Structure 1
Amino acid sequence: MSHQQKQTAYLRVADLIRQGIASGEYAQGDKLPSEHKLCQQYEISRITVRRALEILEQERLVLRRHGLGTFILERPVARQPVILGHEVDSSRSPLVFQVGQMHPEAASKQIAKEFQLPACMIVTIKRSGYREDQLVVYECIQILEEFVGKLKGYDFMMHNWLRRWQQLQMLPITHVAQQITAVPASVALASILEVEVGAPLLLERRFIQSDTNILARVVSYYPGESIRFDAVQQVNELQGNPASSSEEVAS
């Protein structure tokens, strides 16, 4: 088995276990089968099983206790980017992503301007997110080439590729700026998202930033029926300053 196949295998196994928790096969507090039994069940190596469990532990879905085993903490969730760069949980099944090739290129003048640079090299990744075989999001991720580092195409199959990126590169990400607008589907987007030309889409643009740079730009398109927004206003009574936040949930 090649290195890339091994990497893809642990993501696949993580998804299968995640789906098993979501379906009720594994309930909160249950103990997962041993690593040896998981190896036999999925016909993979112990290293692959351990990597899959590490991902689930990072997502706070399981707790691994040395000498005792791995236990379910909570149901898996679909994590979608939201206002102020937070994430919210949906009780529905997780998204499964299909990812295209990583493509290095010179940014157009418009995209370079959005990175607040006169010119730059970027790496573009396009991916489609499916839930129960229904396409619910199409994304174009563009990262400044100098910050891509060890990221590989299969890393974008993960729900939270941004956390993976931070772990690999030790990136000093300070905040994520987000813009949300409604747009009509172009001919190209209508074909990708399988909607009619002119159908309403939700366009989300995120700019992942450090103190000094815009590191990445993410453009996401959602068909109108796949998104719900919940807005909550919080009031800081101690300081007397209202603070509001909005939450986006794929539905």
Structure 2
Amino acid sequence: MNHIRPDTRPLYMLVIDRIKELSSSGEWSPGTRLPSEFELAKQFGVSRATLREALRVLEEEGLVVRRHGVGTFLAERSVVRAGIEQLFSVTEWIERANRVPGTVEKQVGEMLPTEQDRDRLGLSERESILCMTRIRTADGDPVVYCEDRIPTRVLRHGWRGFDGSLFELLEAAGRPIAYAQTEIKPVAYHDTVFPALDVPAGEALLLLEQLHFDANDQPVLLSSNYFRTDTFHFHVLRRRP
């Protein structure tokens, strides 16, 4: 029997502890589909309301993943938790989660900007941009698909052979990023990005579209970063005015 004996803490916290124990002991391995809510509640000797609260907390912590119409699973990847009040690069976000950042399938080329690129980056019709596409990894797992556009004049002498943080590259070029305008969008499907990040059917990605500025308020980087939602959990501190 796995019934939980109450102590001074709320009962749902004991359920959380028990599920973590089953995970850490190897009895439930990463990716395991959990029994139904009815079966789990019966197994632990708690109400379904208590069980749901425990699963809600575990989902927020990134330890379980709920797939609508499929079930609840133990997460297969450790979660990168990131506040979006502060501006970090993808590399910094991964490192702050004590994971090792990497890059695969990088493509870099010089091209003419679209009209939208010219408007947002403040370019003339004759100026070109560097377009970089990369898959960023955490401990070898593909977790972010990055599309970055930079005015060629900004990195004219320092982009070849680059492999790492664009923030660091721009700082070395004398154009450190000071702030960014950000739009956050859910993405239900993308025929290039989803296969590249090995996203299973029924899950979504989170897209951060950002226009980055240097200390002189000049735009230097336009990025579209697609994040795996089972790996990245973003949060923001909100205050009443």
TM-score, L = length of structure 2: 0.55
Q: Tell me what 1:66 maps to.
A: none
**Aligned equivalents of 2:123, 2:138: Cα separation in 1:** 37
CA distance 1:153–1:219, shift in 2 (3 Å): farther
Matched, 1:203 2:210: no
Structure ranking higher in helix proportion: 1
Superposed, which structure 2 residues align to 1:125-144 within 5 Å? Answer: 125-144=132-151
For residue 140 of structure 1, report the CA deviation from its aligned partner.
Answer: 0.9
Query: What secondary structure does 1:166 align onto?
Result: helix
AA matched with 2:187: V
Q: Tell me what 2:87 maps to.
A: 85
| Structure with bigger RCO (C-alpha 8 Å, 6+ apart) | 2
CA distance 1:140–1:154, shift in 2 (3 Å): same
Q: Tell me what 1:147 maps to.
A: 154
Structure 1 residue aligned with 2:190, among 175, 186, 190? 186
Superposed, which structure 2 residues align to 1:95-134 within 5 Å? Answer: 95-98=101-104, 100-117=106-123, 119=125, 120-134=127-141
Identical-pair percentage: 15
For residue 191 of structure 1, report the CA deviation from its aligned partner.
Answer: 2.0
AA matched with 1:97: T
AA matched with 2:188: P
For residue 190 of structure 1, report the CA deviation from its aligned partner.
Answer: 1.8
Q: CA RMSD in A?
A: 2.9
TM-score, L = length of structure 1: 0.53
Structure 2 residues not aligned, in runs of 5+:
1-79
The answer (yes or no) to whether the contact 2:167–2:176 under 8 Å persists in 1 is no
- C-alpha deviations, 1:40-68, integer Å up to 9, x for none? xxxxxxxxxxxxxxxxxxxxxxxxxxxxx
**Aligned equivalents of 1:234, 1:175: Cα separation in 2:** 20
AA matched with 1:214: P
Superposed, which structure 2 residues align to 1:1-251 within 5 Å? Answer: 82-86=84-88, 90-98=96-104, 100-117=106-123, 119=125, 120-155=127-162, 157-158=163-164, 160-167=165-172, 169-171=173-175, 173-196=177-200, 199-210=203-214, 211-233=216-238
**Aligned equivalents of 1:98, 1:172: Cα separation in 2:** 25
AA matched with 1:85: L
AA matched with 1:143: I
- C-alpha deviations, 1:172-228, integer Å up to 9, x for none? 643222222111222122222222467411001121213352111111001221111
**Aligned equivalents of 1:201, 1:144: Cα separation in 2:** 27
For residue 116 of structure 1, report the CA deviation from its aligned partner.
Answer: 4.0
**Aligned equivalents of 1:212, 1:90: Cα separation in 2:** 27
Structure 1 residues not aligned, in runs of 5+:
1-77, 236-241, 243-251
Bigger radius of gyration among the two: 2
